[in-house]
Each structure stands twice: as C-alpha cells, then as structure tokens.
Amino acid sequence: MYLTKEEEKILSGDQGFFLSKAMKLLVTIGDLFNADKLIQIKRSQVAGVSYKTAGDATLELLEAMVKENTEVKTYATQNPAGMDLLKWKDMGVPKDFAEKQLKICNAYEKIGIKSTCTCTPYLSHNRPRFGEIVGFSESSAIAFVNSVLGARTNRHGGLEALSAALVGRVPLMGYLLSENRMGSALVKVEFEPKNESDYAALGYFIGKELKVDEVPVYEGLSHPSVDELKLLGAASAASGSVALFHVVGVTPEINRMKESQWRNKIGCTLHVTEKDIKSVYDELSTNEHPDLIAIGCPHCSLQEIKEIATSVSGRKKSSKTEFWVFTSPEVSKNAEKLGYTQSISAFGGKIFGQTCIVVAPIEDMGIRSVYTNSAKAAFYVPRMTKGKCVARVMPLKECIDLCSLH
Ligand code: F3S
C-alpha cells in the first residue's frame, strides 16, 4: 500500500508509540484487503466503551495513551458506556463496575474522544454528509450512516476505529469504493409493516438470510420513517453484519441512480412475507413476564421519545415492571426541555443517557426478563448475559399496554 512521507513517519514512531501502532494496524488491514492507499477522515465513532465489553485491558491501554499525551486527529465520539454516567445508582449498577466505567470514559475524553456515549451520534453533532468518508465502529451506526445518510464507512471494530481516529486516516477499500456499494440482493417486501418492531423483524430476517457483505435493496417499503430505518438497519447488522442497504424510492444513493444501473447488479431475489416476520417474533421470544421494558436500541431520537410520552400520557405503570428509555445526553436534554421526560416519569418510566440494555451489566442488576421493540436488543440480551437474561421483541404500544395498570 502506498504511504505518504508523513504516514511513513507516523509508522516509524515519529509521533509516538501509540500512533505508530495505530498506523501499523491500519496498514496491515489495508494490505490484507488490497487497499491502494490511506485516505484522510475528519470523523470517527469509537465503540468498545462499556467496561462490560472493553474490560481492564482497554482501560490499561487508554490510561497508557493518556500518560503519553496521545490525542486523536478527528472529531470523535464514544459509543454507549455500561451505565448512565450520572444516574448509574438509579440503574442499580454495581459500584466497582461504575468506578472502572468512569475511568474508561475519562481516559477516552482525555485523548479527545467525546463522552457523548451514544450509538446515534448522527442525531447530534457527529453527522456525516452524503459521500463523506468516515471511520465508524458500532454496527447500527455504520448501517445508518452508509444507508440513510449516504456517507461512507467500512465496518470497523472498536480498536480499528480508535486507530483511525488517532491517525486521521482509513484504508481506501470496501464500502468506501462506489463499485462495492451497489445492491446485490433484491428484497421484495410482500407484507405491510404495521409498527416499528415489524421493521426491526424485517431487518433481522434479512440479516440472517444474506451472506456476509451482501447489500440488500428493499423494494415495497412505501414510507418508512427515519426511526424505522434505524431499527431495520440495526437488526440486519446484528443478525447478519449488513453494513449498507438501500430502500427503493427512499434512501439517497439508490435515488440518484437510474433503475437499470442498480437492477443489473442484483444477484438474487428474496421474498419476505408476514409468515417470515412472525417467525422472527417466535424466535426472539420468552414467556417470562418482563422485569424491564427497554426502549432505545439504537438510542431513541427526540421524535421517538415524543411518541413514547404521548403513548403513556395519562397512564400509570404497574410496579411489577420497570420501563426504561435509552438515548443520548443531547436528546435527553431536549426531551426534558419539551416536557417529554416529565410525562414518562409521571407514567413511572425513566430515561437514561449514555448507555443501553445490551452493554449495561443487567445480569448483575437484578434483571432477568427484558421486553423491547428492538430485534437487535432481543437478539443480544441473552448472548451478552451468557443466558442469564431472556428477551422478547414486541411493539412499543404492546409493551406499554403490558406494563400499564388497567
Ligand atoms: Fe445502540 Fe446498544 Fe443497541 S449500542 S444499537 S442501543 S445495542
């Protein structure tokens, strides 16, 4: 792979040990995938923040970077942590976990990665433009910025995204190249999604059906909202690593192409019916009554919080089930200003920022059964808790009915 003089210098350690290691990682990946060169980026999203997934090794690495005054070269934001950094006691997070978590977030902050701790940085200040090349980790954010915004990122792991942020570059390969962004599988949607979790179930089903690196093109979705696309993308990224999808008549890249241009590239066609969607609800299921209803995977937008606030207005939650909403600190602040937080509190629910149901240590917080409108969360909760917790996917309105006093 071609390297500029400056890149060679970084590689040889001119800008410190950690930048040299970061460059080495990116060059190795670039060489493996036949990238011609590195390309500069201005934005990053760095996953591997929760102490649950990052562990002591990441904490040690970050603290060593801080000691060496290492700093990122991009506008970089952190993915969700294992707890709300302020309200962790309210969540019931164990103290020893919280102490480590705060150290991780502080260390990231010190090397220049903002502790927004959200998987929807694109709803706030870290929103790439159409065509912009970025270095994002977090599978749901990758799917969203590639598909809904038409920006370009590869599927980076946490350490890779951190390296890209440190050197301000990524190898030019994969989804950064136009030829790899064409749709390869046509998905004919032969049912009418009735709610947000039907979109999540559709994404989950397609992720499982497709081979790695396939790019689905959905046909037959007439008017998905941005939030529904967010759930769809997150689910297909979770069940099948889908990093990019197109929706005919909706998403920006396919909208700019002639129909013959993309139809020529399609290699296979899938038909999705009501029966397939039902199979997802059957798979991501449990009969155990929920201890917790968790909404906000990916993190809720302001619009979603408004919808929750409207749906719970005038109702009261039963004490048997907790009702938690996860979002970014910025959306949370706006929700408070607009009175949505107060409506959700009056119902008996809580809003937490900077964390989510999947990366919080819920198995140590007295939670066993989780209901959620997100197929991604329902898929990951049992896996991330080593089977200690169970989960079920269910539309928001049904979740609210289930935990309301009648
Ligand atoms: Fe975001 Fe956590 Fe879901 S990081 S996409 S809310 S698993």
What pLDDT, on a 0 to 100 scale, did the predictor assign at position 50?
A: 98
Residue 301, amino acid: S
Identify any residues that bridge with 404 across adjacent strands, giving them in sequence order. 317
Closest residue by Cα to atom 5, ligand 1, is: 298
Name the residue of 118, 120, 299 to mutate for ligand 1: max ligand atoms within 8 A of Cβ.
299
Distance between Cα 205 and ligand 1 center (Å):
18
**Residues in the chain, pLDDT under 70:** none
Q: Which atom of ligand 1 lies nearest, measured to the CA of 380?
A: 7
What pLDDT, on a 0 to 100 scale, did the predictor assign at position 222?
A: 85
Distance between Cα 265 and ligand 1 center (Å):
32
- The span from the first CA to the last CA of the chain, in angstroms, equals 65
Closest residue by Cα to atom 1, ligand 1, is: 298
What pLDDT, on a 0 to 100 scale, did the predictor assign at position 350?
A: 98
Closest residue by Cα to atom 3, ligand 1, is: 297
Q: What is the DSSP string of 350-370?
A: EEEESB-TTTS-GGGTT--EE
What pLDDT, on a 0 to 100 scale, did the predictor assign at position 406?
A: 80
Q: Tell me whether the omega of the peptide bond preceding residue 329 falls within 30 degrees of 0, making it cis.
A: no
* 88 token code pair: 């962790």
What pLDDT, on a 0 to 100 scale, did the predictor assign at position 118?
A: 98
Closest residue by Cα to atom 2, ligand 1, is: 356
Closest residue by Cα to atom 4, ligand 1, is: 119
pLDDT tens figures, 28-81: 999 999 999 999 999 999 999 999 999 999 999 999 999 999 999 999 999 999
Closest CA to 34 of 181, 141, 176, 145: 176
Distance between Cα 380 and ligand 1 center (Å):
9
Q: Which atom of ligand 1 lies nearest, measured to the CA of 119?
A: 1
Q: Where are the alpha helices (DSSP H) in 241-373?
A: 252-255, 259-263, 274-283, 302-312, 329-337, 340-347
Q: In a 3-state reduction of DSSP, which class is residue 140?
A: helix
Distance between Cα 141 and ligand 1 center (Å):
9
Distance between Cα 294 and ligand 1 center (Å):
11
pTM: 0.97
Distance between Cα 297 and ligand 1 center (Å):
5
Closest residue by Cα to atom 7, ligand 1, is: 358
Closest residue by Cα to atom 6, ligand 1, is: 297
pLDDT tens figures, 161-176: 999 999 999 999 999 9
Distance between Cα 120 and ligand 1 center (Å):
9
pLDDT tens figures, 114-150: 999 999 999 999 999 999 999 999 999 999 999 999 9
Distance between Cα 299 and ligand 1 center (Å):
7
Closest CA to 199 of 355, 376, 358, 323: 376
- 3-state helix, strand and coil shares in percent for the chain, rounded to the nearest 5: 45, 15, 35
| Backbone phi, psi, residue 380, to 5° | -85, -30
Question: What residues are in contact with ligand 1 under a 6 Å CB criterion?
Answer: 79-80, 119, 140, 234, 297-299, 326, 356, 358-359, 376-377, 380
Dihedral angle, C-alpha 9, 14, 16, 20, nearest 10 °: 20
